[in-house]
Chain A
Amino acid sequence: KQEVTQIPAALSVPEGENLVLNCSFTDSAIYNLQWFRQDPGKGLTSLLLIQSSQREQTSGRLNASLDKSSGRSTLYIAASQPGDSATYLCAVTHNSGYSTLTFGKGTMLLVSP
């Protein structure tokens, strides 16, 4: 059974800092890995999707890397802003052919001005 772990559970940083969120998964037979953002009282927004054959994806100040063999992914946020404050969730899709997502518990990020 796939298990996804995210470290740290919570993170508080001052504005402008670069930061790294970590995600690990137990079964390397994944199809892809996604990073989501969740704001309080709202649904999930997909930030980055990395296919199993890829090593990284970038979108603006966000960069996600994937090391499938070691079961790890990182989300790098450059020059953090207060608007980045949210919970970040990592999720993997198994390569069984189905789209089922297995999520981690998330990292709650607070960026203070």
Chain B
Amino acid sequence: EAGVAQSPRYKIIEKRQSVAFWCNPISGHATLYWYQQILGQGPKLLIQFQNNGVVDDSQLPKDRFSAERLKGVDSTLKIQPAKLEDSAVYLCASSQSGTSGATQYFGPGTRLLVL
């Protein structure tokens, strides 16, 4: 079974530029998550999708971050414009459902450096 795929693996941009990350979840998984992991911290949930609807985006900085999951499969996370403090690893995860007992499977992450 293929795992969660993410691209690109690494990205370096200058502040105020835009960047987009892509995630392909495990086939058949209804729930998709984007986490931000700053160096030395644990992952923090940015947004959770159930199929193509948003379940939780309470910690998403909506003035600069946006995410979509068209057709309930792939997802993109965009930052526009980027700030220095956005430097982090962005992890995508998926699960079969969004209920408490669902196991989340994580992708390798995209490492973003904002200069």
| Chain A residues close to B by CB (< 8 Å) | 4, 31-32, 41-46, 49, 51, 89, 91, 93-101, 103-106
Cβ of B72 within 8 Å of any chain A Cβ, yes or no, is: no
Cβ–Cβ contact B43 & A98, under 8 A: no
Give the nearest-CB partner of A39 in chain B. Answer: B108
Q: How far is the CA of A94 from the CA of B91 in the complex (A)?
A: 20
| Chain B residues close to A by CB (< 8 Å) | 4, 31, 40-45, 48, 55-56, 91, 93, 95, 97-104, 106-109, 111
Q: How far is the CA of A64 from the CA of B24 in the complex (A)?
A: 31
Contact (A98, B101) CB under 8 Å given A43-B91, A91-B42: no
Residues of chain A contacted by B106 (CB below 8 angstroms): 43-45
From A4, A49, A99, A106, B98 is in contact (CB under 8 Å) with: A99
Cβ–Cβ contact B100 & A49, under 8 A: no
Q: A43-B107, A44-B93, A99-B101 are in contact. List 7 more A-B contacts (CB 8 A).
A: A31-B100, A32-B101, A43-B108, A49-B103, A93-B100, A96-B100, A99-B100
Give the nearest-CB partner of B43 in chain A. Answer: A103
Q: How far is the CA of A39 from the CA of B31 in the complex (A)?
A: 24
CB distance from A57 to the nearest CB of B (A): 14
Residues of chain A contacted by B107 (CB below 8 angstroms): 43
